Structure 1
Amino acid sequence: MPKSTIRKKKVYTPPAEVRPASDATRRKPSPPWLPVSAVCMIVFGIAWLVVFYITTGDYPVAAWGYWNLVIGFGAMVSSLAVLSRWR
């Protein structure tokens, strides 16, 4: 049986009047303090956890107990939220 011809559809490109402006031209670069603050938050979180584990819970705040883990990991997670804004 003979093979039928394959029809290719043309790729649709909207007119220039309808097309949105390029995203690269609209985006502003991130401020220089943003990656610095994110790295500081990561270092703070790691340092908090290291001090908590080395001192077996006596420092940074002994009364908080295992909430010190929440503070350390929370600082690192919040740095990820800050880094998601980095362009």
Structure 2
Amino acid sequence: MPESKKRKKVTPNGNQPRPAATPAASPRWWAPTMVTLMVLGLVFVVLTYLTKGNLPVPSLGNWNLAIGFGVMIVGFFMTLRWR
């Protein structure tokens, strides 16, 4: 038995739908940068806990934790855009 012809999809305004665009790949520096930021933030937080806020920047005290977590969050948000 012969197969019927395939029909092209047509939108209500008479145009054919465009194929979905594939997202472009991330630059080569993207993945190393996001991993570096996450590890750097982790080291910052661990160093702050081990030295009770005296290091890495003594004048900031416990704000070192906020900086470390902020750096880790930037690295995490970079993972959301990685392709």
Asked if residue 15 in structure 1 is aligned to residue 10 in structure 2, the reply is: yes
| Segments of 4+ moved more than 3 angstroms | none
C-alpha displacement of 1:35: 0.9
RMSD (Å) for aligned C-alpha atoms? 1.8
User: Identity of aligned pairs, percent?
Assistant: 33
For 1:28 and 1:74, the matched residues in 2 are separated by: 27
Aligned residues: 73
Unaligned runs of 5+ in 1: 1-12
What's the counterpart of residue 4 of structure 1? none
Normalized against structure 1, the TM-score is what? 0.74
Normalized against structure 2, the TM-score is what? 0.77
Aligned pairs for 1:1-87 (under 5 A) are: 14-15=9-10, 17-24=15-22, 27-87=23-83
Unaligned runs of 5+ in 2: 1-7
C-alpha displacement of 1:78: 0.5
Radius of gyration: which is bigger?
Answer: 1
